[in-house]
A = this chain, B = another copy of it.
């Protein structure tokens, strides 16, 4: 492991020399030693660099966060920390063009990059604004009203929330190298907890570029954020009971992490976003020709192809009234047929490749499992055109539409998340059946419903809410301003029960709870008033 101070250019952009990514730990950029993972350009397949955390002292990284980053953040009030977020967001926004250049190597279209980069920065802005509007200018905040505990009412209770004194470890998925980092950092840093960011290695070069900009801004106090590009090694073993792990990724990895000693023995908090078989449902009223029908077709096709379907919120299961089935199929096929696949740098290309060849193998395996019980009605794994790139070298994958004849009879399409442009259409007879199908996903991040019938909306919302973290209702009135099926927003919780991991992120200030300890304080009324009405500067 070696430290460097020279200026390092991002990899992935045209003309860059392949190099080993760096990690930012204990106040410096270091290059890991030993065996590295190779990193490839998603479009060209060329190796653009490699990543390793070999030689990094993970215990040292944890200790540094607790010794340097935590105290520095906790010296600030919520308002002050919110202003740090805002300043960093402004700084990153001014440099966003660089990030778009790097993002292209992940196979992202301009639109895909916008979601990742500006969506991520937008989360910082949102928390910066909420933090100042909804938190006090204090180092703790008061949760809920005073509670009279005694008959005479002189002995009272209040709840306060204070930052955990450990470290937050963020283990992010490969599909949103920027948003994934920033959506977790925003609530964490606003809460006053230092973070160690561990991006998925495959796209970590983009994370490194944005992280480097944050360090160059010198806005966050030293130790507030650290970065590991490469394996997380034995990092989790060094966490203690004041720490928290937020994980986004596969259920398999999640289960392994959850079984870590520190999680089981030290009650380290663990938040997980994992596999999710999100649904979209066409209402029984939304017949072909209705505006809701057209909106539905557009959204399903878009959700399949944005980010080449590599979104944990993408529509995987599409519920359609039996009577409209053939119309839906025809309309979806037509729309998907118009999607040009290729190098997003080429004009007219609507969908780029997956993030890497390893993903192609992975998604192919899932698709083959789904195909065993469902009929492929659009697309071909082996026969599709690619524009402006070599199909054999890039990580291209075609949109595939399946049809499940008997959705109650076969579990595959409810259980296998093919993390690419893959979707299964399922007919339903009655709304109650569609609700039952939604639950077969055993817990998902999001469901959406296209209907103009408020009664159907209510039935579906109350019928499927327990199994979903977010539900979106779209009709002709809302279409113009709708934020769509797939977009997590800083204001709304992001996460889902069961298979989706049981986690909860974002949701405005709700997302901070994971990084705060809520403590009940009981005492004489005057002493509680003295404690909590004083400004921190008065009391220091």
Nearest B-chain residue to A161, judged by Cβ: B465
Q: Does B442 contact A240, Cβ atoms closer than 8 Å?
A: yes
> Chain A 456-477 against B: per-residue CB contact (8 Å), 1 yes, 0 no?
0110011001111111111101
Given A466-B164, A498-B267, A522 and B475 contact (CB-CB distance below 8 Å): no
Nearest B-chain residue to A274, judged by Cβ: B267
Q: Does B473 contact A523, Cβ atoms closer than 8 Å?
A: yes
* Chain A 335-386 interface residues, beta-carbon cutoff 8 Å to B: none
Q: Does B272 contact A267, Cβ atoms closer than 8 Å?
A: yes
Q: Does B520 contact A471, Cβ atoms closer than 8 Å?
A: yes
Shortest CB-to-CB span from A446 to chain B, Å, is 9
CA A466 to CA B516, docked complex, whole Å: 8
The 8 Å CB contact of A521, one of B155, B241, B466, B473, is B473
B contact residues around A35 at 8 Å (CB): none
Q: Does B458 contact A159, Cβ atoms closer than 8 Å?
A: no
Copies of this protein in the assembly total: 2
B contact residues around A471 at 8 Å (CB): 519-522
Q: Does B461 contact A502, Cβ atoms closer than 8 Å?
A: no
Shortest CB-to-CB span from A334 to chain B, Å, is 28
Q: Does A241 contact B465, Cβ atoms closer than 8 Å?
A: no
A163 within 8 A of B: yes
CA A469 to CA B483, docked complex, whole Å: 39
Nearest B-chain residue to A509, judged by Cβ: B144
Shortest CB-to-CB span from A281 to chain B, Å, is 14
B contact residues around A266 at 8 Å (CB): 442, 498
A140 within 8 A of B: yes
Given A462-B162, A492-B520, A527 and B478 contact (CB-CB distance below 8 Å): yes
Q: State how many residues of chain A have any CB contact under 8 Å with chain B.
A: 84
The 8 Å CB contact of A462, one of B139, B258, B466, B530, is B139
B contact residues around A140 at 8 Å (CB): 462, 465
CA A508 to CA B159, docked complex, whole Å: 11
B contact residues around A519 at 8 Å (CB): 465-466, 468-471, 493
Stretch at the interface among A145-153, A173-181, A295-303, A406-414: A145-153
CA A510 to CA B518, docked complex, whole Å: 11
Q: Does A151 contact B481, Cβ atoms closer than 8 Å?
A: yes
A289 within 8 A of B: no
A524 within 8 A of B: yes
Q: Does A465 contact B150, Cβ atoms closer than 8 Å?
A: no
Shortest CB-to-CB span from A478 to chain B, Å, is 3
A165 within 8 A of B: yes
Shortest CB-to-CB span from A152 to chain B, Å, is 5
Q: Does A258 contact B269, Cβ atoms closer than 8 Å?
A: no
* Chain A 499-517 interface residues, beta-carbon cutoff 8 Å to B: 499-502, 504, 507-508, 510, 517
A/B interface sample: 26 pairs, CB < 8 A: A139-B462, A149-B483, A150-B481, A150-B482, A154-B480, A155-B482, A157-B491, A162-B465, A163-B466, A164-B466, A241-B502, A242-B467, A255-B265, A266-B498, A267-B498, A267-B499, A457-B530, A461-B521, A466-B517, A467-B517, A468-B519, A470-B520, A471-B520, A477-B526, A478-B524, A482-B522
8 pairs of A and B residues whose beta carbons are closest in the complex: A241-B498, A473-B523, A267-B502, A478-B524, A150-B481, A492-B520, A147-B491, A155-B481
